[in-house]
């Protein structure tokens, strides 16, 4: 898919989002200009966003140069290069799901070990040492010294 | 309290051992953040915001301010040595800084950058000290229409000065305003766009949003491609610029200070814009403009002076008007509100210790940063050699801890991930993030000012044009929008942006 086509799809999505935003705003009390209600500003913002997106879309269709740089080649979202980011993303999401379940130390150790081992392949010992150091220091700094409240021991709230 | 006694009391506060420690911590952390690509001052301050709960307002402001101007110092190191900007305001420094380093002149480049930053930073603090209080006095006469006008002007400026498409920046700004309305309406108590999620009743969290947009999206972008770091291998020596270097740079430093300070005051201006404008102006004034980009010392002195001068100027609207000039100031505003202070024209009179203590610490902090960036440059060079495979996990960990620790809620981790993906998509599609973030932060203030103004005027929008200050702001907005639409200027602006793209 060409970059300009991707841009047009993005702009269409913006228009759809604006319509959705306006419809949701209408369910709130709009009020009158002399007494604006909670829906007044959202409606104005939705209309402005939709109008601007529409103008941008029409401009890009008419000029066909678009507002992107056609000199650049290549796919915008190359799937083969996204493998690593996707795995990292899933790892962070898993961390979010397990933090309250396993506690800070275990969840963070698993996350850090995965990141140290996976982002660039490293020796097992290096990854382990880096994990232990990072988790220990972060615990000292954030939990002990600064008093941030994390689950500090394994909990089983899900059971 | 007269001016001199207030100034001296500020130094007395700043020289308190604990405040000195926080100033030192902020300055060194800011320099480190500036040196390391990946995390800028805004996400770092967002990350440390929960930590400041345990400090007083003076200590918090001193430390966070130190991070801000420290980052402006540190950003030049990576730009010069590695050709990767440590943070956004040092992008332009890559053009001539790295070329100087390739010619074996990394030392003078680093030196003039540090000295220029020190001069610009210190003089801008002087300007802050002299202008903030009189401006606060004027601002007491401001009403909702004036605030609305200035806030709109700030948003318009950041859109107009956007690097790429103005239309796309307008869309991003409106999306930021849309994010700003999420949560409970302060007048009626209605929950807007909460979708039944209790965590959204207080609105979209600023810290997870920033962590996601800037931190996580940056990591995803960097993981997508292999980062090559072409480190300058030659030894760095002769950090002190020669007399010839000073002669070549003096006007660049002078102009950079003025431009940076003035652009820093404007909401929407800021360090990034100041560095670009200063570089462009220096090139225009130069007798040898064709040499810019090949390693001229003015090409380093001008932007580095400007970005530090802007960092000082940015405090003026925050302290005098209660309006943040950029994302980082918005976080400082949040910090002040967390400590129960009401930013605005009365802040300086009601809490002189916060204002004068910060001013005093900024003088001291600039001296500290000069020391960090000259004799200690070797330390930062070693930091730059830390492999990215070790840095990325740490950045991810800090972002995650930062997002979680605001409300001790895992919802914020998922919010951060959501904005991480959005930020990545926006960057790939060339939708710029600064208009979104500034609109998100200014949106609630804008809405309050709009509603109050309309109630005052009984529904007439003419109030924004008939009140003098609001009218002037609207005039500037109109001029900016018209200028952006004029075909000749559009072509020129596009040409400048394309030239910059080619250079990078």
ipTM rounded to 2 decimals: 0.87
User: Over 50: is that where the pLDDT of A55 sits?
Assistant: yes
What is the reported pLDDT for B501? 47
CB contact under 8 A, A146 and B54: yes
Whether residues A99 and A139 fall in one domain: yes
The 8-class DSSP code of residue B1 comes to -
CA distance B144 to B129: 26
pLDDT level of residue A78 (50, 70, 90 thresholds): low
Give per-residue pLDDT as tens, B359-389. 999 999 999 998 888 888 888 877 777 777 7
CB contact under 8 A, A146 and B190: no
Q: Which chain B residues are Cβ-neighbours of A45 within 8 angstroms?
A: 174, 177-178, 181
CB contact under 8 A, A150 and B193: no
Mean of pLDDT values over B447-455: 93
Asked if residue A98 belongs to a domain, the reply is yes
User: Over 60: is that where the pLDDT of B491 sits?
Assistant: no
Count of alpha carbons within 13 Å of B173, Cβ hemisphere only? 26
Interface residue A112 vs chain B (CB under 8 A): yes
- Chain B, nearest residue to A145 by Cα: B51
pLDDT level of residue A73 (50, 70, 90 thresholds): very low
Q: Which chain B residues are Cβ-neighbours of A40 within 8 angstroms?
A: 451
pTM for this prediction: 0.81
Whether residues A126 and A102 fall in one domain: yes
User: Over 90: is that where the pLDDT of A63 sits?
Assistant: no
User: Over 70: is that where the pLDDT of B502 sits?
Assistant: no
Interface residue A15 vs chain B (CB under 8 A): no
Biggest CA pair distance of chain B: 69
CA distance B151 to B268: 9
Whether residues A37 and A94 fall in one domain: no
- Chain B, nearest residue to A127 by Cα: B390
CB contact under 8 A, B177 and A92: no
How many domains, chain A? 2
Asked if residue A20 belongs to a domain, the reply is yes
Q: Which chain A residues are Cβ-neighbours of B420 within 8 angstroms?
A: 89
CB contact under 8 A, B389 and A37: no
- Can you give the residue range of the structural domain that contains A41? 3-63
CA distance B87 to A133: 27
What is the reported pLDDT for A158? 46
CA distance B434 to B205: 17
Interface residue A21 vs chain B (CB under 8 A): yes
CB contact under 8 A, A29 and B188: yes
Q: Mean pLDDT score of chain B, rounded to an integer? A: 84
What is the reported pLDDT for A128? 92
Whether residues A84 and A139 fall in one domain: yes
Whether residues A90 and A42 fall in one domain: no
Asked if residue A130 belongs to a domain, the reply is yes
pLDDT level of residue A129 (50, 70, 90 thresholds): very high
> Radius of gyration of chain B from Cα atoms?
22
Q: Give the gap in angstroms from C-alpha B193 to the nearest C-alpha of chain A.
A: 8
Asked if residue A72 belongs to a domain, the reply is no
Asked if residue A154 belongs to a domain, the reply is no
Whether residues A47 and A102 fall in one domain: no
pLDDT level of residue B237 (50, 70, 90 thresholds): low
CB contact under 8 A, A96 and B387: no
Asked if residue A139 belongs to a domain, the reply is yes
| Cβ contact B231:B437 at 8 Å | no
Give per-residue pLDDT as tens, B56-72. 889 999 999 998 888 88
Residue B16: CB atoms within 10 A of its CB come to 18
Where helices occur in chain A by DSSP H, the ranges are 3-26, 40-63, 83-118, 124-138
> Radius of gyration of chain A from Cα atoms?
24
User: Over 60: is that where the pLDDT of B74 sits?
Assistant: yes
Residue at which a domain ends, from A63, A91, A108: A63
CB contact under 8 A, A82 and B451: no
Whether residues A127 and A103 fall in one domain: yes
Interface residue A74 vs chain B (CB under 8 A): no
CA distance B114 to B229: 23
Mean of pLDDT values over B43-48: 78
Asked if residue A150 belongs to a domain, the reply is no
CA distance B407 to B205: 9
Whether residues A7 and A43 fall in one domain: yes
Size of interface A-B (CB pairs under 8 A): 161
CB contact under 8 A, B171 and A59: no
CB contact under 8 A, B400 and A95: yes
Asked if residue A68 belongs to a domain, the reply is no
Q: C-alpha angle A94/B42/B180, rounded to 5°?
A: 75
Query: Among residues A24, A17, A82, which one has the least CA distance to residue A54?
Result: A17
CB contact under 8 A, A150 and B181: no
What is the reported pLDDT for A71? 44
CB contact under 8 A, B451 and A122: no
Mean of pLDDT values over B296-308: 92
Whether residues A51 and A99 fall in one domain: no
| Cβ contact B384:B200 at 8 Å | no
CB contact under 8 A, A150 and B408: yes
Whether residues A109 and A52 fall in one domain: no
Whether residues A45 and A87 fall in one domain: no
Q: Which chain A residues are Cβ-neighbours of B170 within 8 angstroms?
A: 48, 52
Whether residues A83 and A59 fall in one domain: no
Q: Which chain A residues are Cβ-neighbours of B200 within 8 angstroms?
A: none
Of A33, A49, A76, Cβ closest to residue B459: A33
What is the reported pLDDT for A44? 94
Query: Among residues A84, A157, A118, A151, which one has the least CA distance to residue B401?
Result: A151
- Chain B, nearest residue to A129 by Cα: B390
Q: Give the gap in angstroms from C-alpha A88 to the nearest C-alpha of chain B.
A: 8
Interface residue A81 vs chain B (CB under 8 A): yes
């Amino acid at each position: 898919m060409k970059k300009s086509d991707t841009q047009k799809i993005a702009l269409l999505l913006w228009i759809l989002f604006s319509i959705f935003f306006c419809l949701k705003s209408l369910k709130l009390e709009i009020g009158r200009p002399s007494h604006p209600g909670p829906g007044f500003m959202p409606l104005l913002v939705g209309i402005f966003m939709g109008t601007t997106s529409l103008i941008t879309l029409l401009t890009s269709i008419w000029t066909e140069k678009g507002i992107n740089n056609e000199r650049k080649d290549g796919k915008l979202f190359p799937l083969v290069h996204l493998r690593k980011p996707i795995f990292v993303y899933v790892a962070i999401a898993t961390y979010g799901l397990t933090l309250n379940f396993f506690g800070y130390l275990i969840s963070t150790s698993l996350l850090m070990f995965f990141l140290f081992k996976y982002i660039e392949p490293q020796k097992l010992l290096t990854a382990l040492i880096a994990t232990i150091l990072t988790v220990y220091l972060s615990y000292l700094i954030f939990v002990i010294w600064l008093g941030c409240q994390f689950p500090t021991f394994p909990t089983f709230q899900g059971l | 309290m007269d001016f001199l006694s207030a100034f001296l009391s500020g130094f007395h506060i700043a020289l308190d051992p604990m405040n000195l420690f926080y100033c030192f911590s902020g300055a060194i952390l800011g320099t480190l953040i500036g040196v390391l690509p990946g995390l800028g001052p805004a996400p770092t301050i967002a990350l440390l915001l929960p930590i400041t709960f345990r400090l007083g307002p003076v200590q918090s402001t001193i430390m966070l301010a130190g991070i801000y101007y420290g980052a402006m110092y540190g950003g030049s190191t990576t730009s010069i040595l590695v050709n990767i900007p440590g943070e956004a305001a040092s992008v332009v420094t890559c053009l001539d800084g790295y070329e100087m380093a390739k010619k074996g002149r990394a030392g003078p480049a680093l030196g003039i950058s540090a000295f220029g930053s020190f001069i610009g930073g210190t003089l801008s603090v002087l300007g802050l000290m002299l202008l903030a209080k009189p401006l606060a006095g004027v601002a007491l006469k401001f009403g909702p229409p004036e605030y609305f006008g200035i806030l709109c002007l700030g948003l318009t400026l950041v859109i107009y000065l956007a690097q790429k498409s103005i239309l796309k920046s307008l869309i991003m700004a409106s999306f930021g305003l849309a994010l700003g309305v999420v949560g409970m309406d302060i007048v009626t108590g209605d929950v807007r766009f909460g979708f039944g999620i209790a965590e959204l009743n207080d609105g979209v969290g600023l810290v997870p949003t920033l962590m996601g947009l800037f931190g996580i999206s940056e990591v995803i972008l960097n993981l997508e491609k292999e980062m090559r770091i072409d480190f300058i291998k030659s030894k760095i020596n002769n950090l002190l610029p020669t007399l010839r270097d000073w002669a070549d740079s003096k006007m660049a430093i002078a102009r950079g200070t003025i431009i940076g300070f003035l652009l820093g005051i404007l909401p929407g201006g800021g360090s990034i814009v100041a560095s670009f404008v200063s570089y462009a102006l220096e090139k225009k004034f130069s007798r040898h403009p064709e040499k810019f980009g090949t390693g001229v010392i003015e090409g380093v002195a001008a932007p580095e002076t400007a970005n530090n001068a802007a960092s000082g100027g940015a405090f003026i609207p925050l302290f005098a008007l209660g309006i943040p000039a950029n994302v980082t100031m918005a976080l400082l505003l949040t910090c002040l509100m967390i400590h129960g202070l009401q930013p605005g024209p009365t802040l300086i009179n009601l809490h002189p210790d916060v204002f004068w203590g910060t001013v005093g610490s900024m003088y001291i902090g600039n001296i500290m940063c000069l020391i960090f960036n000259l004799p200690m440059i070797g330390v930062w060079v070693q930091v730059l050699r830390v492999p990215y495979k070790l840095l990325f996990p740490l950045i991810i960990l800090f972002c995650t801890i930062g997002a979680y620790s605001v409300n001790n809620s895992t919802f914020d981790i998922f919010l951060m991930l959501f904005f991480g993906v959005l930020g990545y998509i926006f960057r790939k599609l060339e939708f710029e993030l600064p208009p979104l973030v500034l609109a998100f932060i200014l949106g609630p203030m804008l809405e309050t000012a709009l509603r109050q103004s309309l109630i005052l005027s009984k529904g007439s929008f003419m109030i924004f044009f008939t009140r003098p200050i609001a009218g002037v702001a609207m005039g500037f907005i109109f001029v900016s929008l018209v200028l952006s639409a004029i075909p000749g200027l559009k072509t020129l602006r596009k040409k400048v942006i394309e030239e910059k793209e080619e250079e990078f």
